[in-house]
Structure 1
Amino acid sequence: MQKKVLKVNPKDNVIVALLDLPAGESVHLDGTDYTILKDIKAKHKFAAVDFEDGDHILMYGVIVGKANQSIKQGEVITTENVKHQSAKVVGKTATLGWTPPNVDKWKDRTFMGYHREDGQVGTENVWLFFPLVFCENKNIETLKDIFEKELLHDKASKHQLLLRSLLNGGATVEVEEEQTDTRIFKNIDARFITHQGGCGGIRQDAEALGRLFAGYVNNPNVAGATVLSLGCQNLQVQIFMDSLHALAPNNKKPIVVYEQQKSGTIDEMLTGVIKDSYEGIKKANEIERKPASITKLNIGLECGGSDGFSGISANPVLGEVSDIMAAVGGTTMLAEFPELCGVEQELVNRCVNDEDGVKFLKLMKDFEASVVAAGSGFDMNPSPGNIKDGLITDAMKSAGASKKGGAAPIVEVLDFTEYATKPGLNLLCTPGNDAECTTALVGSGATVVLFTTGLGTPMGNPIAPVVKISSNTILAEKMSDIIDFNAGTVISGEKTIPEAADELLELIINVASGEVKTKADVLNQNDFIPWRRGVSL
């Protein structure tokens, strides 16, 4: 029988409703009976004690808010009676001990990946097309249309067939046979990126975009790239090439570069681009999957469309996976710095090197200062959807979001566009925005991204598979076309967190080996939104 309520940490003074609880119902937890004073929806919290104005609200064992009025035991915690509050951070105060999980069943596991000359191993084999400036988006879209029709032989979707039927006066249109792979090249995919940057903003944003693209080319999921430039933009070809050289001095991957203002007509340029890209793609198709240790995986950790269950089901499952990967020698990255507000002290204490703790706090401080200067604040991070489903303060959301990083030591703190090179858990400075975060994780080397959601987010990435993990079973059933894994079994009591983590890691290995396609890949969700830290000029 499913439990009705849960206290996440023994120190907590609020309790999570796992089911809808009507006013007047009595629930029993840890030797105490609680009477629900008002209807409370599942995922929301109620007071375990009487609060007075100014009292701290504790969840996950940390401060997640402050009462701004009296709250009675059994009363629902809301945005009206609680405001954001988090503990002050004073620098490293302790070294947190960590007992690694038993990884006997994982230490010798392999996946089928694409081995690169620099020793990295990819989960995909992609030829990537991208522009250095938005002025070249149209040419990238033209190339996408050409290559997808002729090289990949994409079939008409059912929605295209519906429109075709309507154009034919409602006549039935034959549905093409499924499953048959008609691609000319079986071992390579072509992916296409467009964006709105590269010029018009400050130079620093253009340079950051160049470093981000360098990270994408260096990512082992990429076999080679075609790069289009206009010629006069802030993000010059040389800036991109310098960024790539700084990251990968011995880069052997083929890169096709064309600059429109040097090429003459669009027709002349596209003719050359198609010929040169085809030769590169044909060569990259010769690369085949081979066994590699799972220590070669670089797993990005993030969440989006979170709910009140995310921090007690899906996120802790990712934390267990992250700890397993750290224990065997793999790499994980925890991002979304606005969603680490309130848990800074724990994270600083987990940093292996003191200088990384200092760097983390500076990045957090500078990020928040820029947000305040824009007239906002980290306390405004929870979205309307988050609040509706029980995440009413940023600290509450953050305390649950940080669970994706497990308990392993933090080996390095990375700023946006810095590339992960150390095995273990890394922190990466990104916004909380789903697409910007995923884009940044992959640019820093993630070859698979794990994305938890309680509300449903149909998002993917051009070069890395994005595995969607639901926090609750209702979402997994309602939006089955975008969810890959259901962690709601933790809420229902069907599985423990370690059991769910083992099952998820098996799925990750299958995805990394190309044996299972993520729902985002099936839906062709190839989202790419670079983080712009500056302003437009």
Structure 2
Amino acid sequence: MSSPPMTEIPPLHTYLQIHPDDNVLVALRDLPAGTTLLHQGQAITLPKPVQAKHKVTTEALAIGEPVRMYGVRVGKATKPIALGEVITTTNVLHEAEAYGLHSRQAWTWQPPDVSAWQTTTFQGYPRTDGSVGTRNYWLVVPLVFCENRNIRMLQDAFEQALGYGKTDRYRQQVQQLVDSYRAGHLDKVDLIADAELPIDRSLLFPNVDGIKFLTHEMGCGGTAADAQRLCDLLAGFITNANVGGVTVLSLGCQKSQLSMLQAAITARSPTFDRPVLYFNHQTYGTETELLTAAIKQTFQGLVQLNLQTRQPVPLAKLNIGLKCGGSDGFSGISANPAVGHLSDVLVTLGGTTLLAEFPELCGVEQELINRCTEERDAQRFVQLLESYAAQAAAVGAGFDMNPSPGNIKDGLITDAIKSAGAAKKGGYAPIAGVLDYTEKAVRPGLHLLCTPGNDVLATTGMAASGATLILFTTGLGTPTGNPITPTVKIATNTRLATRMPDLIDFDAGPIVAGGETIAENGERLLHWLVGLASGRYQTKAELLGQDDFIPWQRDVNL
């Protein structure tokens, strides 16, 4: 079986039926009461106003009848719903399609024409294991929370001296207030929020894109499994192609031992040969001796890392994580399918993409089962998904609780609606593999990666699984990034891109306006990514220093 392509939006259109089997229409503009929508030969007069992003029915629904969107069941009526009435949390409850391995069918798809991209290259950092980085970072990590202070001491020592520290306009604002208070004229101060401050762009090591410092609250006091999970996560970051060298601080007596980390690195990359410097605090004795040694050897490592230069490599060497957060009712019809088209283009070229957020695949499980090229991957997807769902159920939670108040307010009233739109980030390509949290892809193609929907837990997991770029679609605006993997914020609507320009990198809003097709927008994004991957510019998250890192301890998180 196959799934039909997304419906394109004509210019100046006011509503959209996403799939021919759907019994709801999406409002693309605010529609006043009394508006008449002409749909398949019938006139639908709206009894009440409908906000953009929300849905109205194309038929009257009785209690218990299904609501269909994206061609799948996304809810059921909990009370009679009239023709043209808005569906809300008061008249519709989450309900998803049944799925199972026994229903698996062969998947067919039409790969996109990639002839225009066959010879395109980006300037990346090739590693000896065959991976290619879009950045060349030195990473500094603690094996246990006891070393967090020392990590921060190293960060303070290195960042400003080497030119990687961010100019802090807010510190200058506070200093301005302090000076004004002392001078006795605080009431006359007018702070300028967007003042541009001078930034020293002269870097001592121009081929080193930065030094990244991680802290966490793990490493000891938990279970042996917790310690192993931390080592697996850190090993994923260390072996990510964007990392050229690493400094590791250890206390010495913690559960997360250096030997565990070394084994986890070897398991992910048997021929790993990038420099990893280990410093055991209890061996050195004093903090001064520990940090002095770490500073000297790390600086020497940076000197060597700076000798590496970018080289032209094919797009097949990109590894891209696919994520959405702060989603709205336009996510599944603009930014997500545009990213899905980009994913299809990339995997057709031989690249790798990672579709994360298992709680946001609810309702489209059968399609994903069908798309797995190997039976074992379909089986693993079901096993990981059902284990995750059972863990949530054990504490009285469920995937149906995933939508946030912001999601609901902007049209995503059930998890199945949210999930069916979120899954569009994965396009239509067959699924080459299914990965658990922090596992790396061993073959090119589209992969399903088990992560929570939580923004930072998911992006942390994608970076640990090897993503060298992350595409993050958002309809409401989400200020987050990743320490080692550039995170691209893609607005689902132009209003958001205009309102939050310091967060948004790319606008998929022209799709909603009918000014661009899904494919045109996705390929324009891919063209922009070539420059980003080549280091010609940075994401807004990089410019803001949004280095968010939160390990998932496998607790219930939707």
TM-score range, shorter chain: over 0.9
1:205 corresponds, among 226, 229, 238, to 226
User: CA contact under 8 A between 1:111 and 1:292: conserved in structure 2?
Assistant: yes
CA distance in 2, matches of 1:361, 1:147: 46
- The C-alpha deviation readout for 1:423-455, integer Å capped at 9, x for no partner, is 110110000000000000010000000000000
Structure 1 residues 91-170: aligned runs within 5 Å = 91=101, 92-152=103-163, 154=165, 156-169=167-180
Determine if contact 2:437/2:450 at 8 Å carries over to the other structure: yes
2:480 to 459, 462, 480: 459
The amino acid across from 1:118 in the alignment is D
Aligned amino acid, residue 149 of structure 1: Q
Distance 1:59 1:3 in 2: 19
Q: Distance in 1 between matches of 2:555 and 2:454?
A: 16
Tell me the residue number matched to 2:354: 333
Could you list the runs of 4 or more consecutive aligned residues of structure 1 that deviate by over 6 angstroms after TM superposition? 170-177
Tell me, in whole angstroms, the C-alpha distance in 2 between the residues paired with 1:410 and 1:154: 40
Q: Does 1:2 align with 2:22?
A: no
1:395-430 CA-to-partner distances (Å, cap 9, x unmatched) read 110000000000000000011111112111011000
- Aligned residues of 1:326 and 1:424 also touching (Cα < 8 A): yes
- Decide which moves more: 492-501 or 195-204: 195-204
1:252-401 alignment runs, 5 A limit: 252-401=273-422
CA shift, 1:155, in A, is 5.7
> Could you report, residue by residue, the CA deviation over 1:235-267 in whole angstroms, capped at 9, with x for unpaired residues?
111111110111112211111111212220111
In the TM superposition, what is the alpha-carbon distance from 1:230 to its structure 2 partner? 1.5
**Superposition deviation, residue 72 in structure 1:** 0.5
How many residues align? The count is 535
How far residue 367 of structure 1 moved from its aligned partner, in angstroms, is: 0.2
How far apart, in 1, do the equivalents of 2:36 and 2:444 lie?
Answer: 48
> What is the DSSP-based 3-state SS (H/G/I as helix, E as strand, rest coil) of the residue aligned with 1:105?
helix
- Aligned sequence identity (%): 51
Measured after TM superposition, the shift of residue 166 of structure 1 is: 2.0
Q: Report the CA distance between 1:179 and its aligned residue.
A: 5.7
- Tell me which residue corresponds to 1:531: 552
Per-residue deviation at 1:486? Answer: 0.4
Structure 1 CA distance for aligned equivalents of residues 474 and 297 of structure 2? 41
Does structure 1 conserve the Cα–Cα contact (< 8 Å) formed by 2:144 and 2:251?
A: yes
Residues 73-100 of structure 1: per-residue CA shift (max 9 Å, x gap): 1111001111110111121521110110
Q: What are the equivalent positions in structure 2 for 1:400-415 lying under 5 Å apart?
A: 400-415=421-436
1:500 match: secondary structure: helix
Counterpart CA distance in 2 for 1:489 and 1:209 is 42
For the Cα contact (< 8 Å) 1:153–1:182, is it kept in 2? no
Is it true that 1:20 corresponds to 2:40 in the alignment? no
For 2:202, the equivalent position in structure 1 comes to 182
What letter corresponds to residue 59 of structure 2 in structure 1?
Answer: V
The two structures have a TM-score, normalised by structure 2, of: 0.94
- Kept in 1, the 8 Å contact 2:137–2:244? The answer is yes
Distance 2:167 2:520 in 1: 40
CA contact (8 A) 2:163 2:201 kept: no
CA distance in structure 2 between the partners assigned to 1:274 and 1:76 by the alignment: 61
C-alpha separation between the residues in 2 aligned to 1:320 and 1:28? 30
1:35 aligns with 45
In the alignment, structure 1 residue 474 sits paired with structure 2 residue 495: yes
AA aligned opposite 1:249: P
Secondary structure in 2 aligned to 1:411?
Answer: strand
**1:164 Cα deviation from its structure 2 partner:** 2.2
Residues of 1 paired with 2:219 and 2:34: CA distance? 59
SS at match of 1:43: coil
Q: Which moved more, 1:504-513 or 1:193-202?
A: 193-202
Q: Distance in 1 between matches of 2:509 and 2:220?
A: 44
Post-superposition CA distance 1:456-514 (Å, at most 9, x none):
00111111100110000110000011000000110001101011011100111111000
3-state SS of paired residue (1:169):
helix
| Aligned counterpart in structure 2 of residue 62 of structure 1, from 61, 72, 87 | 72
| Residue number among 238, 243, 255 corresponding to 2:264 in the alignment | 243
8 A Cα contact 1:201 1:534, kept in partner: no
8 Å contact kept, 2:321–2:354: yes
> 1:380-529 counterparts in 2 under 5 A?
380-529=401-550
Q: Tell me the residue number matched to 2:62.
A: 52
**C-alpha spacing 1:285/1:193, structure 2 compared with 1 (3 Å):** same
> What is the TM-score normalised by the length of structure 1?
0.97
Distance 2:279 2:395 in 1: 38
- Is the alpha carbon distance of 1:153 and 1:90 closer, same or farther for their aligned partners in structure 2, counting shifts above 3 Å? closer
2:450 and 2:273 map into 1 onto residues whose CA distance is 29
User: In 1, are the aligned partners of 2:169 and 2:197 still within 8 Å (CA)?
Assistant: no
Residue 31 of structure 1 and its aligned partner are, at CA, apart by 2.6
Distance between the aligned counterparts of 1:75 and 1:262, measured in 2? 70
Letter in 1 for 2:15: V
Between the aligned partners of 2:508 and 2:395, the Cα distance in structure 1 is: 37
Give secondary structure in 1 for the equivalent of 2:116: coil
- In the alignment, is the contact (CA less than 8 A) between 1:304 and 1:453 conserved in 2? yes
What is the SS of the residue equivalent to 1:399?
helix
Q: 1:461, 1:525 within 8 Å by CA — same for their partners in 2? A: yes
Report the counterpart of residue 89 of structure 2 in structure 1: 79
